[in-house]
């Protein structure tokens, strides 16, 4: 407890790792993959691919379906994710059509819609700590793969069709699957193993890249509708709490513009040693942005969630998402948290206001950081408050 945090992230990792270690102390692992696969990025274009398998049989789909994680705690999350043991098999990202049996079986896992009974043979016993990432949900120990065997998986028919259509562009496949109701997490998984696209262009995509690529692509697709829809006619405030994070989604009656502002307290995931609160922002106006967002994948995850709501309502708005991460947020859980939390917040209903001043006043009652600092760190709010518009001259 020397770090001064109320809850120790080191002890949390060690506690759940010690629980799982006895059941994986072997060169062979039998269990049901949720299904889940992982494609690394270290050494690109030569990367490690492989299954994620827990030492548990039966329906394990919950372990790798972020859309189902509505009411979990950080402890719950670390508990079930630590059970996933990662097998590692090195391939070139271009080898998606390889005759390598492990390659084909990993792809089959990624196409499955249900848990798949798996038998994993390792070159050495799985070891290592629970691996946490900034954009990808964590997993447990890992080891090099020697052999992989799986039962016959039941494919998602829509994803299977896209997999076998080697003339269909990856972008078109992703958009079509989304429109047909496929889970974003399932699309991301299949995309990472090179399941989509014209045959000669298919590649393995590191898991963290595939997550943001799908979020970004689908967000851009939805914006084609959002940008030409009528404006909302009031100021809206949505608020939400999760994992000791406070969230505000502010919608304003103006043309499309979007910003994500994150405030990280000392002793939180992205500000572990700071003495003061750190704030970061990324934004775009109507024409979009040409560079990758400074905040990273969270930016595209929140943008997708916001546009899902606007498209559903057939409305357009200026949107500012504010995130206040307090010390209880001791470990990174992945970009899914932003997408699913913003989705959840937008389903809770909103409070209407006639003016921005009224909305900001209410925001200041929910967030701990003074509203003046949010405005100071916001490009969209400063522009809205200071820039004159045509409607300002209409009586």
Q: Which of 111, 135, 134 is nearest to 187 (CA)?
A: 111
Closest CA to 83 of 146, 123, 139: 139
- Are 256 and 226 spatial neighbours (Cβ–Cβ below 8 Å)? yes
Confidence band of 272 (pLDDT split at 50, 70, 90): confident
9 vs 379, residue with greater confidence: 379
Asked if 138 and 156 touch (Cβ cutoff 8 Å), the reply is no
Neighbouring C-beta atoms of residue 67, cutoff 10 Å: 13
For the segment 3-9, the average pLDDT, to the nearest whole number, is 64
Q: Could you identify the residue written with the tokens 């799908």? A: 214
Average pLDDT over residues 180-185: 96
Phi-psi domain of 18 (left: phi exceeds 0; alpha: psi -120 through 50; beta: other):
alpha
Residue 316 has pLDDT above 60, yes or no: yes
User: Considering only CA atoms, which of 342, 344, 337 is closest in space to residue 137?
Assistant: 337
pLDDT of residue 187: 98
Tell me the mean pLDDT in the region 283-298: 96
Task: Label residue 174 left, alpha or beta by phi (over 0 means left) and psi (-120 to 50 means alpha).
Answer: alpha
**pLDDT > 50? residue 395:** no
In a 3-state reduction of DSSP, which class is residue 78?
Answer: helix
Percentage of residues of the chain with pLDDT beyond 70? 95
Beta bridge partners of 39: 49
Q: Which residue has the higher pLDDT, 267 or 343?
A: 343
Is 301 a residue whose pLDDT tops 60? yes
Q: Which residues contact 374 (CB under 8 A, 6 or more apart)?
A: 261, 263, 322, 363, 367, 381
pLDDT at 3 over 90: no
- Name which of 84, 123, 77, 91 is nearest 333 in CA terms: 77
pLDDT at 383: 95
CB 78 within 8 A of CB 130: yes
End-to-end CA distance of the chain: 61
Residue 160 to residue 154: CA distance in whole angstroms:
10
* Residue 22 tokens, joined: 């006895």
Please write the tens of the pLDDT for every residue from 51-78. Answer: 999 999 999 999 999 999 999 999 999 9
Mapping DSSP to helix (H, G, I), strand (E, B) and coil, where does residue 385 land? helix
Tokens 């499309």, located at residue: 256
- What is the average pLDDT across 170-185? 97
**Mean pLDDT lowest for which of 35-44, 164-173, 213-222, 260-269?**
260-269
| Residue 380, token pair as written in the block | 């969209």
- Residue 354 three-state SS: coil
Q: Where are the domains of the chain?
A: 9-150, 157-217, 235-393
Let me know how long the chain is: 395
Measuring CA to CA, which residue among 313, 306, 255 is closest to residue 285?
255
Which of 160, 172, 314 is closest to 230 using CA atoms? 314
CA distance linking residue 393 with residue 243, whole number of Å = 44
pLDDT at 242: 96
Max CA distance (Å), the chain: 76
pLDDT per position as a tens digit, 105-144: 999 999 999 999 999 999 999 988 777 777 788 899 999 9
**Helices 184-192 and 157-164: crossing angle, nearest 10°?**
30
Strands 142-150 and 85-92: parallel
Q: Is the dihedral of CA 93, 96, 100, 101 positive or negative?
A: positive
Instruction: Report the pLDDT value the prediction gives residue 112, as an integer from 0 to 100.
Output: 96
Antiparallel, parallel or unpaired: β 28-33 and 116-122: antiparallel
- Ramachandran region of residue 248, left (φ > 0), alpha (ψ -120 to 50) or beta? beta
Confidence check: pLDDT of 308 > 50: yes
pTM: 0.93
Q: What is the pLDDT of residues 193-234, one digit of tens each?
A: 999 999 999 999 999 999 999 999 999 999 999 999 999 999
């Amino acid at each position: 407890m020397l770090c001064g945090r109320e809850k120790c992230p080191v002890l949390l990792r060690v506690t759940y790792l010690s629980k799982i270690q006895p059941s994986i102390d072997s060169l062979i692992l039998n269990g049901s993959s949720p299904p889940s696969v992982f494609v690394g990025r270290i050494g690109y274009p030569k990367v490690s691919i492989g299954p994620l398998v827990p030492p548990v049989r039966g329906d394990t789909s919950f372990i790798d379906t972020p859309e189902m994680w509505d009411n979990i705690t950080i402890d719950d999350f670390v508990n079930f994710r630590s059970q996933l043991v990662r097998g590692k098999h090195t391939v070139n990202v271009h080898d998606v059509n390889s005759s390598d049996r492990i390659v084909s079986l990993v792809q089959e896992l990624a196409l499955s819609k249900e848990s798949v009974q798996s038998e994993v043979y390792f070159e050495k016993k799985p070891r290592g700590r629970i691996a946490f990432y900034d954009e990808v949900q964590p997993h447990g120990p890992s080891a090099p793969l020697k052999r992989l065997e799986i039962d016959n998986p039941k494919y998602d028919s829509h994803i299977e069709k896209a997999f076998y259509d080697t003339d269909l562009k990856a972008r078109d496949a992703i958009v079509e699957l989304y429109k047909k109701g496929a889970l974003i997490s399932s699309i991301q998984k299949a995309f990472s193993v090179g399941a989509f696209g014209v045959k000669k262009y298919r590649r393995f995509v590191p898991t963290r890249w595939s997550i943001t690529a799908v979020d970004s692509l689908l967000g851009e697709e939805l914006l084609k509708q959002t940008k030409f829809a009528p404006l909302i006619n009031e100021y809206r405030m949505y608020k939400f709490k999760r994992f000791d994070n406070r969230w505000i989604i502010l919608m304003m009656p103006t043309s499309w513009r979007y910003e994500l502002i994150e405030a990280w307290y000392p002793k939180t995931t992205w500000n572990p040693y700071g003495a003061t609160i750190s704030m970061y922002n990324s934004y775009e106006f109507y024409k979009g942005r040409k560079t990758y967002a400074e905040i990273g994948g969270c930016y595209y995850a929140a943008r997708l969630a916001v546009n899902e709501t606007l498209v559903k309502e057939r409305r357009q708005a200026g949107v500012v998402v504010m995130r206040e991460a307090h010390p209880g947020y001791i470990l990174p859980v992945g970009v899914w948290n932003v997408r699913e939390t913003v989705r959840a917040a937008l389903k809770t209903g909103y409070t209407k206001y006639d003016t921005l001043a009224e909305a900001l006043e209410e925001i200041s009652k929910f967030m701990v950081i003074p509203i003046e600092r949010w405005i100071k760190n916001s490009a969209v709010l400063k522009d809205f408050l200071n820039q004159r518009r045509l409607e300002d001259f209409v009586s």
